[in-house]
Amino acid sequence: MSETRQMKAARRIAAALALTALVAGPQGVAAAQSLVAQSGTAAAGRPASERAAAPDALDAIRARGHLLCGVSPATPGFAVREGRGVWRGLDVDYCRALASAILGDAGKVRFVPMPAAERFERLRAGDVDILARNTTWTLERDAGEGAIFAAVTYYDGQGFLVRRDRGVARVQQLDGATVCVEAGTTSERNLADYVRSTRLRITAVPAASSDAVRAAFLGQQCDAMTSDTASLAGFVAQQGSGESRYAVLFEVISKEPLGPAVREDAQRLFRVARWTHFLMLTAEELGLDSSAVAELQGGAATSLASASSDVQHLFGRVGRSGELLGLDADWGARVIRQVGNYREVWERNIGPLGIQRGLNLLWNQGGLQYAPPLR
């Protein structure tokens, strides 16, 4: 029940009590008046955020002139700040695509690095418009953190990283080992569940942040470290000439569907966030990359007019996708032209880590990435 409906119900109850009190005489009137006053005081005493609907998220972004995107402080492949403060990564490109859709310019986004332990609290507080921080979609987070997940932009699983000189080739060989893990994450919980189910003697060594986990592992404070396999592969790639000293074990112990989340009251932003990802998948499926879109838009009008219905929907020549999402008709073609389709984003950010697409292939290539029709 919404707050407005609750207040109306309280007023109806108070009115009924007042009517009863009139029949009961002066003492009843006084009692009823007290109840009404208490009801009004309670409503007035609530925070303004509870008494009135929050401003529309899309309108707030447009008024501000840029998107606020919460990202990992440093996770190769997903979000890393390189020289001159330039951010790169799959999550980074997703937020640029969202800025392109909403504001018409992929550059109109500011990236806000945040620790894992603070991400949902800061999303609820309005420090960011969207959380795109290689975050696992779970029921408790989706229903209990005041957030809703828009899509799965990366299907991953939790794995283990070891030093090759330890001769460990399988997770079962970690019996008796210590494992560094980031505290307060699904990785920590998954590790505990795995230890219980397998009865392996693995001792968790929690650390406050991903950087602290990596530092502890490099400082040999633990025998292995555990996280999403993409994050582990990114760490190895950062080791330069020393990367041959480490190995990511093949087995995974969990499902880690990673994706962006918005506040649960931001329904219009949620739809745009979800369909921005679906758009990038659709463009890949149609064979439309950034170059192809630019060529079609700059070519003869007959080229686009003779294209398939699906292509024309992406370009906004038919259908009402822009109107229904609160965007302009050109939003789809602009996102692909400015940022690229899903394959381009993958090859730009994840490919250099040596990670195969696997589950992240399109549905018609044996993967799980599947977009509903744009029409």
Alpha helices in the chain (DSSP H): 3-24, 26-45, 48-51, 57-64, 90-103, 119-125, 139-144, 186-198, 210-218, 229-237, 267-285, 290-298, 301-305, 309-314, 321-325, 331-338, 342-349
Distance of CA 164 to the CA centre of its chain: 33
**CATH number of the structural domain 57-155+258-365:** 3.40.190.10
Residue showing tokens 């040596």: 354
Do 270 and 242 touch, CB atoms closer than 8 A? no
Report the DSSP beta bridge partners of residue 115. Answer: none
Q: What is the DSSP letter of 56?
A: P
What are the extents of the domains in the chain?
A: 3-51, 57-155+258-365, 158-254
Query: How far is 36 from 66, CA to CA, in rounded Å?
Result: 45
Do 322 and 375 touch, CB atoms closer than 8 A? no
Q: What is the DSSP letter of 75?
A: B
Residue showing tokens 């283990």: 160
Query: Burial of 75 by CB count in 10 Å (0-12 exposed, 13-18 middle, 19+ buried)?
Result: buried
Query: How far is 235 from 237, CA to CA, in rounded Å?
Result: 5
Instruction: Decide if 57-155+258-365 and 158-254 have a common fold.
Output: yes
Report which of 82, 62, 225 is spatially closest to residue 158, judged by C-alpha positions: 225
How would CATH label the architecture of 158-254?
Answer: 3-Layer(aba) Sandwich (3.40)
How confident is the prediction along the chain (375 residues), in pLDDT tens digits per residue? 344 444 444 444 444 444 444 444 444 444 444 444 444 443 334 444 443 455 799 999 999 999 999 999 988 999 999 988 899 999 999 999 999 999 999 999 999 999 888 999 999 999 999 999 989 999 999 999 999 999 999 999 999 999 999 999 999 999 999 999 999 888 999 999 999 999 999 999 999 988 899 999 999 999 999 999 999 998 998 888 888 999 999 889 999 999 999 999 999 999 999 999 999 999 999 999 999 999 888 876 667 888 899 999 999 999 999 999 999 999 999 999 999 999 999 999 999 998 999 999 999 999 999 999 998
